Structure 1
Amino acid sequence: MLSLVASVASSVAVSILLKVARRQDIRVDQAIAVNYPVAALLCLALLRPHPEQLLAPGTPWWVLILLGILLPGIFLAMAGAVRHAGIVVSDAAQRLSLLIPLAAAFLLFGETASPAKLAGMAVALAALVCLLWQPGRMDIAAQDSAGPAARPGDIPSGGRAGTLTVLLCVWAGYGAIDILFKQMARSAVDFASSLLAAFVLAGLAMGAWLASRRARWRARSVAAGVLLGALNFSNIYFYLRAHQQYPDNPTLVFASMNIGVIGLGALVGAWVFKEGLPPNKLAGLVLAVVAIGLLMPR
């Protein structure tokens, strides 16, 4: 159970770091770029991959290349969502992305749709509508975009429409990444080696993007990137450890992870950062928990 707690805490800690980055004068894009080499080194040290397997003919390079592009892209989107919509809504949008791989399982991989799963998908869509709906005025968390002038590395909001866009990017992006990870797990290459390759490619892509912008690196941003990489890898590592500790109860792991992140994220966002939680978003959080419960494997 400690592995599950550590995974949930690491996931929420990533959101907290992204939330405080701007006020601490941290360049989010630089921190994200540094995060991937750190995660790759931790992957080498703790998961002990076999990189030579990547030379096998069956290596799904198209999956790894897409992950190399999407992983840093979705991190940037998550940073924008946390800044403009808050931790509560951003974490919920991320966790509700499970709807996308589930739909892919029905439409692409031939899985049978049970009544409970169909009901869960309907409730998840309702939760998403509640979480993304912006009635009348911007969220308290979103008002941060009207504060100090944007800095290099910031993710612009563009007002209410921009906030909605980054939240949809978080939802769709994490769903797409989940599908790609499932494709990666189906290949002949061991998961640790594939994960290492994805981290390396993501780091190269982000580094090339920053080089094209002639970024001026800051020690503070690099240090934040080291912490971000440790938290990012910790989330994955302890999640895998939890599955190893409960091999006959994946439902426990999956439910605890998703509901735990939404619950802890809501507490941190509301109590620490004083994020507004209007009735529609509170209803969305409740519906999200119900949807995750319905979507659990039986």
Structure 2
Amino acid sequence: MVYIFISVICSVTVGVLFKLASRYSINIQQAIAWNYLTAIILSLLLFKPAVAQLSLPSTPTYYILGILLPTIFWILSRSVKAVGIARTDIAQRLSLIIPLLAAYLIFQEAFGGVKIVGLVLAFLSVVLMLINKGNAKSKASIIFPVLVFLGFGTVDILFKQIAADPSRPYATILLLVFLIAFPLALAAALYQRFKYQRSFKLVNVLYGMLLGMFNFMNIFFYLKAHQALSAQPSLVFASMNIGVVVLGTLLGYFLFKEQLSKLNFAGVGLAIVAIVMITIAQYYGS
């Protein structure tokens, strides 16, 4: 459980860093680029992949993921800034229903009653969490958590596809995707640098390295948790998702004074119930 706890802390910390970025005048595009460079370095040091496993992949899925990851990371930062950590974490964690729907609609996987009810509750919780009685600008910003929901769901489907690659372990797959994502993120930062005269600053490099450390540790300890509790994958999955939802909501509400209505809190409760039900159904066939 220690691995799960560390992974939850790291996941929520990424959201906190995005929340604090504007306060310290951080250029997010640059920070995202250095985040991936840091993840690459840590992957090489800790995973020590064989050179043969790092050959250029032939499937386009790797390259699609390499494009999506920095894009969705940027959207994640915009969502945290627009609607806060609580709603963004809910959107990210409930994106699990997208690959589940793909399994049902595309791959013809049989669904039981518990899973169907869990999916319905998950959709309802998203609606409740995104209800905002603020001004028009706040209502328009709902697009960002929706994109987080759709983006992370799509990324999850793509990761499931390439995880079946028999020539490479999962850790090496992650490294390859990081290697594709970094030059794209750097190119975007360079484009911003010359088009909008945004100079490269050391503070953005350091902030990106900090972001990359927590982003990498989130993934690393999540994998370690699955290894340590290999006989109880549902425990890992449920604990991780519920932990992020609860901690993200508490930090957003108490630390950053994010305004949450009774309907929003009801959405948090429904999200936790939905995650538990989907997890039970996923691993016990209900």
- The answer, yes or no, to whether TM exceeds 0.5 is yes
The change in CA–CA distance for 1:191 and 1:255 in structure 2 (over 3 A counts) is same
Hey, what does 2:116 align to over in structure 1?
A: 118
Hey, what does 2:37 align to over in structure 1?
A: 37
CA contact (8 A) 1:19 1:87 kept: yes
Hey, what does 1:166 align to over in structure 2?
A: 144
- Unpaired runs of 5+ residues, structure 1, are 139-157
Hey, what does 2:229 align to over in structure 1?
A: 246
Aligned residue type for 1:202: A
CA contact (8 A) 1:60 1:184 kept: no
SS in 2 for 1:21: helix
Shift of 1:108: 2.2
SS in 1 for 2:199: coil
Aligned residue type for 1:172: L
Hey, what does 1:257 align to over in structure 2?
A: 240
> Partners of 2:37 and 2:68 in 1: how far apart?
16
Aligned residue type for 1:196: L
The percentage of counterpart residues that share the same residue type is 41
SS in 2 for 1:247: coil
Aligned CA-pair RMSD: 1.4
CA contact (8 A) 1:60 1:187 kept: no
Structure 1 position 281 matched with structure 2 position 264: yes
Shift of 1:110: 2.8
Hey, what does 2:214 align to over in structure 1?
A: 231
Aligned residue type for 1:204: P
Shift of 1:60: 5.2
Hey, what does 2:87 align to over in structure 1?
A: 89
With normalisation by structure 1, the TM-score equals 0.89
CA contact (8 A) 2:83 2:138 kept: no
CA contact (8 A) 2:29 2:188 kept: no
CA contact (8 A) 1:3 1:241 kept: yes
SS in 2 for 1:23: helix
The change in CA–CA distance for 1:90 and 1:223 in structure 2 (over 3 A counts) is same
Hey, what does 1:4 align to over in structure 2?
A: 4
1:1-298 equivalent positions in 2, closer than 5 A? 1-55=1-55, 59=57, 61-135=59-133, 137-138=134-135, 159-188=137-166, 189-213=168-192, 214=194, 215-296=198-279, 297-298=283-284
Task: Tell me the matched-pair count.
Answer: 276
Hey, what does 1:144 align to over in structure 2?
A: none
CA contact (8 A) 1:31 1:228 kept: yes
SS in 2 for 1:34: helix
> Partners of 2:253 and 2:58 in 1: how far apart?
42
Shift of 1:54: 4.2
CA contact (8 A) 1:18 1:79 kept: yes
CA contact (8 A) 2:36 2:178 kept: yes
- Segments of 4+ moved more than 4 angstroms: none
The change in CA–CA distance for 1:54 and 1:212 in structure 2 (over 3 A counts) is same
With normalisation by structure 2, the TM-score equals 0.93
> Partners of 2:58 and 2:116 in 1: how far apart?
31
Aligned residue type for 1:74: I
> Partners of 1:40 and 1:123 in 2: how far apart?
38
Aligned residue type for 1:17: L
